[in-house]
């Protein structure tokens, strides 16, 4: 099949849930992706913040091949070494006591919600608790995750969703406070809003929410599915706020391509779920957990977080320079290697034009271009991206 045939066939058999770019990807190497016809792209999207290690990392590939030869799956009725080691690594890195591995980010959010509801039930002797979520948040596409997602268009066609979800304004502590009552089980938020347009939490806000939770016996769930795993310059973004959540969700870069997520909890939240309360056939299988274990090993070996600290400053300065050159760019925000440029016009055409120049970027909402490269990106890659982006913006805005 040639490229056009592949795209036509895909469109005829895959559900039309995505507007795909006309690109048939075949393999990757470092920061570069290649199409079946050999066309090369610098990748500043990392499969949506997934491929932290870049493509084709040798140790990662070797570990997974070794695990394929040994054992892919056991179910959770038995112990296995990769899940045990991966759980230790996640707990140590996150400051949590226990972890449950899932197959996706949305499932991690589902699990976190169940922890909050179960703990409330244990303490109060009745269910019917509520959860406070944030406007413009994104937590995934399953019915529970979409119920706490702060974008009406994602929720409304699928109602009724899980009930008892109230929405506050992100970075507005008073709006959170106003929703708290004796039925509040948890507050869920991203430490840095990703899909909503790259909005980091204000320090005062996150610390204020932590205090509200402490004062009112409410769980703080931080969704670090996108901003966790080193992306912001610390393993988890909350480290930079001096705040520890009660439950944290992670996925995306956790497996660097192997589908795996997790929710981890500490203290009484870590003990809320007991046998019979939750499960997953695949969740945390030896293959997925070998990926997690190897990702942590490679993060250490390659000093990935130090690289983020260094290159993110260079990316910041580069994007600031670009912002100064084009009046259509109205804002620049973000932390670490999770930055966004906001435009006064929809960014779809600029993203497409950048792709034609040979660089993959993605939008966050209609007006923001998101920069979430693999975490092993170098300053030379940033320069290459910047040159392609400048050319693309000039083409679109003239
Ligand atoms: C991507 C994302 C999710 C959903 O993860 P999936 O693996 O797509 O289910 C949830 N929360 C945040 C913050 C995300 O960025």
List the residue whose alpha carbon is closest to atom 10 of ligand 1.
Answer: 139
Task: Please write the tens of the pLDDT for every residue from 39-96.
Answer: 999 999 999 999 999 999 999 999 999 999 999 999 999 999 999 999 999 999 999 9
* pLDDT grade for 367, boundaries at 50, 70 and 90: very high
Quote the pLDDT of residue 218: 98
Give the Å distance between the CA of 5 and the centre of ligand 1. 31
Closest CA to 218 of 151, 132, 109, 283: 132
Instruction: Indicate where the chain has its CATH 3.40.640.10 domain(s).
Output: 59-301
Q: Which whole number is the average pLDDT over 90-115?
A: 98
CATH 3.90.1150.10 residue ranges for the chain:
3-56+303-397
Judged against a pLDDT cut of 90, whether residue 398 lies above it is answered with no
CATH of 3-56+303-397, one of 3.40.50.10680, 3.40.50.2300, 3.40.50.11740, 3.90.1150.10: 3.90.1150.10
Interval 364-381 mean pLDDT: 97
Residues with CB under 6 A from ligand 1: 104-106, 109, 138-140, 190, 194-195, 223, 225-226, 251-252, 261
Q: For ligand 1, what atom is nearest to the CA of residue 193? A: 13
Mean pLDDT, the chain, integer: 97
Mean pLDDT of 24-53: 97
> What is the tens place of the pLDDT at every residue in 114-158?
999 999 999 999 999 999 999 999 999 999 999 999 999 999 999
Query: Using one digit for the tens of pLDDT, what is the confidence trace for 185-207?
Result: 999 999 999 999 999 999 999 99
CATH architecture of the domain 59-301 equals 3-Layer(aba) Sandwich (3.40)
Stretch 264-282: mean pLDDT, rounded?
98
Of 108, 106, 68, which is closest to residue 286 (Cα–Cα)? Answer: 68
Check residue 155 and give its pLDDT.
97
Residue nearest to atom 15 of ligand 1 (CA): 226
In the chain, % of residues over pLDDT 70: 100
Task: Choose among 325, 328, 306: nearest CA to 386.
Answer: 325
User: Ligand 1, atom 7: nearest CA belongs to which residue?
Assistant: 105
114: Cβ–Cβ under 8 A, 6 or more apart, which residues? 273, 277, 278
- Phi, psi for residue 110 in degrees, rounded to 5: -55, -45
pLDDT tens digit string along 318-353? 999 999 999 999 999 999 999 999 999 999 999 999
pLDDT at 96: 98
| Cα angle 30-36-38, degrees, rounded to a multiple of 5 | 65
CA–CA dist 24, 20 (Å, integer): 10
Q: Answer yes or no: is pLDDT of 1 > 90.
A: no
Instruction: Using most ligand atoms within 8 A of CB, pick from 45, 252, 254, 282 the residue to mutate for ligand 1.
Output: 252
Q: What band does 356 get if pLDDT is binned at 50, 70 and 90?
A: very high
Separation of 146 CA from ligand 1 center, angstroms?
10
Beta bridge partners of 249: 223, 263
- Probe ligand 1: pick from 109, 140, 146, 223, max atoms within 8 Å of CB? 140
* Choice from 143, 194, 225, 256 to test ligand 1 binding pocket (greatest atom count within 8 A of CB): 225
CA of 24 from ligand 1 middle (Å) equals 24
The per-residue b/e assignment along 4-18, b for 16 or more CB within 10 angstroms, e otherwise, is eeebeeeeeeeeeee
pLDDT surpasses 90 at 280? yes
Torsion (CA) 81, 84, 86, 92 in degrees, nearest 10? -140
What predicted TM-score, i.e. pTM, was given to this entire model?
Answer: 0.98
Atom of ligand 1 at shortest range from CA of 190: 13
């Amino acid at each position: 099949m040639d490229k056009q045939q592949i795209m036509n066939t895909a469109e005829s058999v895959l559900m039309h849930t995505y507007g795909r770019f006309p690109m048939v990807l075949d393999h990757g190497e470092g920061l570069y992706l290649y199409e079946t016809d050999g066309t090369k792209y610098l990748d500043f999207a990392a499969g949506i913040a997934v491929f932290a290690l870049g493509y084709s990392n040798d140790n990662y590939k070797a570990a997974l091949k070794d695990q394929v030869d040994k054992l892919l799956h056991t179910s959770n009725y038995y112990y296995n070494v990769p899940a045990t080691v991966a759980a230790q690594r996640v707990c140590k890195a996150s400051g949590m006591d226990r972890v449950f591995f899932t197959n996706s980010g949305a499932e991690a959010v589902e699990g976190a919600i169940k922890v909050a509801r179960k703990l409330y039930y244990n303490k109060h002797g009745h269910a019917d608790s509520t959860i406070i979520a944030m406007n413009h948040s994104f937590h995934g596409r399953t019915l529970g995750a979409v119920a706490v997602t702060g974008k009406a268009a994602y929720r409304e066609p699928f109602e009724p969703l899980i009930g008892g979800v109230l929405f506050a304004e992100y970075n507005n502590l008073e709006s959170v406070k106003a929703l708290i009552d004796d039925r509040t089980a948890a507050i869920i938020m991203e430490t840095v809003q990703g899909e909503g347009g790259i909005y980091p939490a204000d320090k005062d806000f996150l610390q204020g929410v932590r205090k509200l939770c402490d004062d009112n016996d409410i769980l703080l769930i931080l969704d670090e599915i996108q901003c966790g795993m080193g992306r912001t310059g610390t393993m988890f973004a909350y480290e930079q706020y001096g705040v520890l959540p009660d439950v944290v969700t992670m996925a995306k870069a956790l497996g660097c391509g192997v589908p795996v997520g997790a929710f981890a909890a500490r203290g009484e939240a870590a003990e809320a779920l007991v046998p019979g309360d939750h499960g997953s056939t695949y969740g945390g299988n030896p293959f997925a957990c070998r990926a997690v274990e190897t990702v942590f090993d490679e993060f250490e070996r390659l000093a990935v977080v130090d690289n983020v600290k260094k290159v993110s400053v260079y990316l910041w300065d580069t994007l600031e320079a670009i912002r100064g050159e084009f009046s259509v760019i109205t804002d620049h925000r973000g932390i670490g290697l999770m930055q966004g440029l906001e435009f006064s016009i929809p960014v779809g055409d600029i993203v497409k034009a950048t792709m034609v120049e040979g660089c993959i970027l993605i939008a966050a909402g209609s007006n923001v271009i998101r920069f979430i490269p693999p975490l092993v990106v170098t300053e030379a890659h940033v320069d290459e991206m910047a040159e392609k982006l400048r050319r693309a913006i000039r083409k679109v805005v003239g």
